[in-house]
Amino acid sequence: MKPLSIDEIKTLVENAQSPCVSLYMPTQKAGPETRQNPIRFKNLIREAGERLTEMGMDETKAIEFLQPAKELDTNEFWQHQDVGLAIFISPSVFHYYQLPMEFQELVVVGNQFHLKPLLHLVNNDGRFFVLALSQDNVRFFEGTHYNIQEVEVENMPKSLDEALLYDETAKEGQRRMGTSKGGTANPFSQPGEFHGQGSPDRDEHQKDILQFFHAIDDALHEKLRDEKAPLLLAGVEYLFAIYREANSYKHLLEEGIHANVDIIKPEELHEQAWQIVEPIYTQSHKAIIELYQQIAGEGTGRASSDLKEIIPAAYYQRVDYLLVPVGQQVWGSFDPETMAVNLHSEPQPDDQDVLDFAAIHTLLNGGAVYTVDPGELPDGIPAAAIFRY
């Protein structure tokens, strides 16, 4: 099973070859309810087969086409699930993902994969990082609204002793000693300076910690070079100020998690981190909706809720921000040559969810996609776009 990422989404888009089958279902991780998993799965496979024959595929060929997915249906497979399963099948692709997000049951068969339900997991919308600081055990986590997982960072020292051992083998002056690299949360006015009184031994120990944190920041600088998701610190509070002296990541949050990170469980870390991060994303959604309403009210043509205008704009790289509802589909087709958009109340052969089409192309073309609950969109509109021009 491949990990889910923006690059993986791009691979699914670029390697689409008709027919493309997209299957989504909720899964149970434990207990008697797990018996529902294979039942749901068989029903979705049967529905996918029916959709393929409706598109003109011979029934025998449809069975063969879906065979890779059917081979997943084993006791061992169902015993190792998360809360959601997504499967993609085409003549050239067979990928599946066990994911920490509960999906509605859905079968889509068309010329492209249906990927909108995945965007909330791979977009920056809801992502965050946690750096768990301890002098004896440093760990780095990547989280979303739904889960958190530890991530290995190349060349990042795991302990103060490890960092100092490395430094002793280097030539004098090869590493920085307390040169501040800034960051939005840096409270220090002078590089390498610690405020307050302390013994010489304590001051020397703080310098060692600062050197240690510079080594961590160096490794994270490579890891987070193109990231914009917020970073939280977790650990004992006195380490936070020292780390901010070394920090170079612009999206380090002022608020952190005060905990003994040597014993805290990942699920506890996730719960406390999300309490800090959630208001940031809620505020971001509200700000984009307000910006859309403001621009739409100006009548400049730089904002629209008309899908017949949004779809070609997304395809031709004009959409800067797009708000789309999760759990909803609008069926239709788009002709890039004529820019004609045809919408249907019920899916027709070769139709696709045009909301999915707009979201994927906005994302691939460098725009930002916000997946929202349908009720968050103003005035019952199907989607909202802000154009680059």
Q: 119 and 367 in contact (C-beta within 8 Å)?
A: no
Q: Would you state the pLDDT for residue 198?
A: 52
For residues 265 and 152, membership in a common domain is answered with yes
For residues 318 and 197, membership in a common domain is answered with no
Q: What is the mean pLDDT of residues 65-90?
A: 93
Q: How many domains does the chain have?
A: 3
CATH at 16: 3.30.960
CATH at 329: 3.30.1330.30
Q: Would you state the pLDDT for residue 375?
A: 86
For residue 255, pLDDT beyond 60 = yes
Residue 319 lies in a domain: yes
Give the confidence band of 186 by pLDDT, cuts at 50, 70, 90. very low
Q: What is the mean pLDDT of residues 45-74?
A: 95
Residue 292 lies in a domain: no
pLDDT tens, position by position, 10-25 = 888 887 888 999 999 9
Q: What is the mean pLDDT of residues 254-262?
A: 94
pLDDT tens, position by position, 134-174 = 999 999 998 888 778 888 999 999 998 887 775 554 444 44
**For residue 2, what are its two tokens?**
């491949």
Q: pLDDT averaged over the chain?
A: 86
Q: What is the mean pLDDT of residues 202-219?
A: 89
Q: Would you state the pLDDT for residue 182?
A: 44
For residue 70, pLDDT beyond 90 = yes
Q: What is the mean pLDDT of residues 76-92?
A: 92
For residues 140 and 65, membership in a common domain is answered with no
Q: Would you state the pLDDT for residue 185?
A: 41
Q: Would you state the pLDDT for residue 171?
A: 41
Q: Which of these three, 280, 312, 336, is where a domain ends?
A: 280
Q: Would you state the pLDDT for residue 89?
A: 97
Q: Tell me the percentage of the chain whose pLDDT exceeds 90.
A: 57
For residues 304 and 260, membership in a common domain is answered with no
Domain residues for the domain of 36 are 6-114
Residues contacting residue 297 through CB under 8 Å, at least 6 positions apart: none
For residues 313 and 203, membership in a common domain is answered with no
For residues 372 and 309, membership in a common domain is answered with yes
Residues contacting residue 320 through CB under 8 Å, at least 6 positions apart: 367, 368, 386, 387, 388
For residues 14 and 108, membership in a common domain is answered with yes
For residues 243 and 322, membership in a common domain is answered with no
Q: Would you state the pLDDT for residue 349?
A: 76
pLDDT tens, position by position, 356-371 = 999 989 988 888 888 8
CATH at 173: 3.30.420.60
For residues 166 and 232, membership in a common domain is answered with yes
Q: Would you state the pLDDT for residue 193?
A: 41
For residues 233 and 351, membership in a common domain is answered with no
Give the confidence band of 269 by pLDDT, cuts at 50, 70, 90. very high
Q: What is the mean pLDDT of residues 257-272?
A: 93
For residues 38 and 150, membership in a common domain is answered with no
For residue 320, pLDDT beyond 50 = yes
Residue 373 lies in a domain: yes
Give the confidence band of 350 by pLDDT, cuts at 50, 70, 90. confident
Of 337 and 29, which is predicted with more confidence? Answer: 337
pLDDT tens, position by position, 103-131 = 889 999 988 899 988 887 776 567 899 99
For residue 251, pLDDT beyond 60 = yes
Q: Would you state the pLDDT for residue 184?
A: 42
Residue 123 lies in a domain: no
For residue 199, pLDDT beyond 90 = no
- For 32-46, 184-198, 211-225, 372-386, which range has the lowest pLDDT when averaged over its residues? 184-198
For residue 298, pLDDT beyond 80 = yes
For residues 226 and 168, membership in a common domain is answered with yes
